[in-house]
């Protein structure tokens, strides 16, 4: 009998969900991929920024995830083999940007520069500069290179660039729910990927910003800008750098709140895929119809005085055409597709 009886009413018991791949169905499909067990966890947070709320249960199936963000070394191999040209190297079509300033309609990318004095935190143009010579090979502009940064995450990649890489690699990009499941590392109620303290015992667990953003970077964690992808300890699933260093693209369209919590087991979203594309446009720029994806993980520019988004629940909208010096990505392989993958 599937039913239980309470106060004379017949109440249907929820049908147990099939086990969502809690254990890996086989060996990893590629080197440097680790298993993230499927299951139900609380996604989001009610204790921080409003876009993270409400915290709500979701279920995701298990999957393999890259141990760390895609590095310059790996991205270079992709470009060498495919001759791929990234968005930052292609001038934008003016038709897509009505009213855009002419200086923005060139190939290029956004580079952080540290202002020499304290500035208002309400004006991002005080620390973001659109550079016509910035791209993944030249992260700070033409004068810079990635020499010696082979193990740093690739940056200045727009969403289509990340997708193209994933296709080439035989992998996929994660959903927000998958990414957050991975970042929590099994500590589902913790604030951080490693527990409830930002720097347990004074130890820096991720590359973020110490000091007064954006003009004083104390570099207590050892890094002013990006860092090698395994410079900090892994989380409970063995994954490095989900928090800090660079933001990471997910496949979800952004909307400024999570869906309301549905606590009944029958109604918990399974493998949610985010909002609808038409909900993702920036309401403060209605003339620009560039949809926005969810970024996760925070970056080396996240600071306690400005952007405390170095937590698994944190999220940020990014237009799919935008690239910067602090956004990268990593890939996954879902269990269903692993049998088709080749090493
Ligand atoms: Ca740092």
Indicate if the pLDDT at residue 170 is higher than 90: yes
Beta-ladder partners of 313: none
Which of the pair, 66 or 335, is modelled with greater confidence? 66
Question: What pLDDT is recorded for position 343?
Answer: 36
Write down the mean pLDDT value for the chain.
91
In the chain, what percentage of residues exceed pLDDT 90? Answer: 82
Find the 286 Cα to ligand 1 centroid distance in Å. 35
Find the 227 Cα to ligand 1 centroid distance in Å. 8
Question: What pLDDT is recorded for position 18?
Answer: 58
> pLDDT digit string (tens) for 143-163?
999 999 999 999 999 999 999
CATH number for the domain including 283?
3.90.1580.10
Looking at the 3D structure of the chain, how many domains does it have? 1
User: In whole angstroms, what is the distance from residue 295 CA to residue 313 CA?
Assistant: 11
Indicate if the pLDDT at residue 339 is higher than 60: no
Find the 94 Cα to ligand 1 centroid distance in Å. 36
Strand pairing of 327-328 and 247-253?
parallel
Find the 76 Cα to ligand 1 centroid distance in Å. 25
User: In whole angstroms, what is the distance from residue 60 CA to residue 81 CA?
Assistant: 34
In a domain, 95, yes or no: yes
Angle at 20 between CA 16 and CA 23, to 5 degrees: 125
Find the 225 Cα to ligand 1 centroid distance in Å. 6
Find the 59 Cα to ligand 1 centroid distance in Å. 33
pTM: 0.92
**Contacts (Cβ under 8 Å, ≥6 apart) of 251:** 172, 173, 174, 175, 176, 273, 274, 293
Indicate if the pLDDT at residue 342 is higher than 90: no
How far is residue 263 from each of residues 20, 22, 43, 86, 268, measured CA to CA in Å? 18, 21, 12, 42, 6
Residue corresponding to tokens 């249960």: 57
In a domain, 20, yes or no: no
In a domain, 245, yes or no: yes
Q: How confident is the model at residue 341 (pLDDT cuts 50, 70, 90)?
A: very low
Find the 93 Cα to ligand 1 centroid distance in Å. 35
Indicate if the pLDDT at residue 208 is higher than 80: yes
Find the 112 Cα to ligand 1 centroid distance in Å. 13
> pLDDT digit string (tens) for 284-298?
988 888 999 999 999
Q: How confident is the model at residue 5 (pLDDT cuts 50, 70, 90)?
A: very low
In a domain, 17, yes or no: no
Residues with CB under 5 A from ligand 1 (ion): 207, 221, 223, 300
Indicate if the pLDDT at residue 326 is higher than 80: yes
User: In whole angstroms, what is the distance from residue 73 CA to residue 151 CA?
Assistant: 6
Find the 264 Cα to ligand 1 centroid distance in Å. 41
| Angle in degrees, 0-180, between the axes of helices 72-82 and 159-169, rounded to the nearest 10 | 80
- Running DSSP on this structure, what letter comes out for residue 228? -
Find the 193 Cα to ligand 1 centroid distance in Å. 17
Indicate if the pLDDT at residue 3 is higher than 70: no
Which of the pair, 4 or 245, is modelled with greater confidence? 245
Question: What pLDDT is recorded for position 21?
Answer: 79
In a domain, 51, yes or no: yes
332 token code pair? 């996954």
Find the 213 Cα to ligand 1 centroid distance in Å. 11
Strand pairing of 63-66 and 33-36?
antiparallel
- Running DSSP on this structure, what letter comes out for residue 55? P
User: In whole angstroms, what is the distance from residue 270 CA to residue 261 CA?
Assistant: 13
User: In whole angstroms, what is the distance from residue 128 CA to residue 318 CA?
Assistant: 15
Indicate if the pLDDT at residue 9 is higher than 80: no
Find the 104 Cα to ligand 1 centroid distance in Å. 29
Q: Rounded mean pLDDT of 301-314?
A: 97
Find the 313 Cα to ligand 1 centroid distance in Å. 20
Find the 71 Cα to ligand 1 centroid distance in Å. 18
- Supply φ then ψ for residue 88, to 5 degrees: -65, -15
Question: What pLDDT is recorded for position 11?
Answer: 38
In a domain, 10, yes or no: no
Indicate if the pLDDT at residue 310 is higher than 70: yes
Find the 114 Cα to ligand 1 centroid distance in Å. 13
Which of the pair, 262 or 37, is modelled with greater confidence? 37
Find the 335 Cα to ligand 1 centroid distance in Å. 35
Find the 128 Cα to ligand 1 centroid distance in Å. 17
Find the 296 Cα to ligand 1 centroid distance in Å. 17
Indicate if the pLDDT at residue 103 is higher than 80: no
Find the 69 Cα to ligand 1 centroid distance in Å. 17
User: In whole angstroms, what is the distance from residue 293 CA to residue 286 CA?
Assistant: 17
In a domain, 236, yes or no: yes
Q: Which of these, 118, 167, 110, 26, lies nearest to 306 by C-alpha position?
A: 118
Find the 200 Cα to ligand 1 centroid distance in Å. 16
Least confidently predicted of 168-172, 182-186, 260-264, 325-329: 260-264
296, with CB counted inside 10 A (0-12, 13-18, 19+), is: buried
Indicate if the pLDDT at residue 226 is higher than 70: yes
User: In whole angstroms, what is the distance from residue 131 CA to residue 252 CA?
Assistant: 28
Q: Which of these, 140, 142, 86, lies nearest to 110 by C-alpha position?
A: 140
In a domain, 44, yes or no: yes
Q: Which of these, 124, 112, 111, 118, lies nearest to 215 by C-alpha position?
A: 118
Indicate if the pLDDT at residue 260 is higher than 90: no
79 token code pair? 């470009």
Find the 199 Cα to ligand 1 centroid distance in Å. 13
Domain that holds residue 323: 33-342
Q: Are 59 and 270 in contact (CB under 8 A)?
A: yes
Q: Rounded mean pLDDT of 19-47?
A: 93
Q: How confident is the model at residue 19 (pLDDT cuts 50, 70, 90)?
A: low
Question: What pLDDT is recorded for position 98?
Answer: 81
């Amino acid at each position: 009998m599937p039913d239980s009886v309470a106060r004379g009413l017949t109440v249907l018991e929820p049908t147990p969900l099939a086990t969502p791949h809690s254990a890996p169905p086989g060996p990893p499909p590629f080197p440097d991929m680790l298993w993230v067990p499927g299951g139900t966890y609380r996604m989001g947070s009610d204790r921080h920024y409003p876009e993270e709320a409400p915290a709500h249960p979701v279920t995701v199936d298990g999957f393999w995830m890259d141990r760390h963000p895609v590095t310059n070394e790996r991205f270079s191999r992709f470009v060498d083999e495919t001759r791929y040209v990234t968005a930052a190297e292609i001038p934008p079509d003016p038709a897509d940007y009505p009213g855009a300033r002419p200086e923005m309609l060139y190939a290029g990318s956004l580079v952080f520069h540290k202002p020499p004095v304290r500035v208002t935190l309400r004006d991002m143009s005080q620390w973001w500069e659109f550079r016509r010579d910035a791209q993944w090979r030249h992260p700070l502009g033409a004068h810079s290179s990635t020499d010696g940064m082979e193990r740093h995450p690739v940056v200045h990649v727009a969403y289509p660039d990340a997708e193209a890489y994933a296709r080439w690699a035989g992998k996929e990009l994660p959903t927000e729910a998958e990414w957050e499941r991975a970042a929590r590392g099994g500590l589902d109620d913790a604030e951080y990927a490693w527990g409830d303290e930002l720097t347990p015992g004074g130890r820096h667990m991720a590359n973020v910003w110490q000091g007064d953003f954006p003009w004083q970077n104390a570099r207590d964690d050892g890094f002013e800008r990006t860092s090698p992808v395994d410079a900090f300890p892994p989380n409970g699933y063995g994954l490095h750098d989900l928090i800090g260093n660079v933001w990471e693209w997910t496949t979800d369209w952004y909307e400024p709140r999570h869906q309301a919590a549905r606590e009944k087991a029958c109604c918990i979203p399974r493998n949610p895929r985010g909002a609808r594309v038409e909900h993702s446009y920036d309401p403060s720029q209605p003339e620009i119809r560039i949809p926005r994806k969810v970024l996760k993980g925070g970056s080396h520019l996240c600071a306690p005085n400005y952007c405390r988004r170095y937590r698994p629940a944190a999220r940020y909208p990014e237009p799919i055409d935008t690239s910067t010096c602090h956004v990268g990505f990593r890939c996954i392989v879902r269990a269903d597709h692993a049998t088709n993958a080749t090493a």
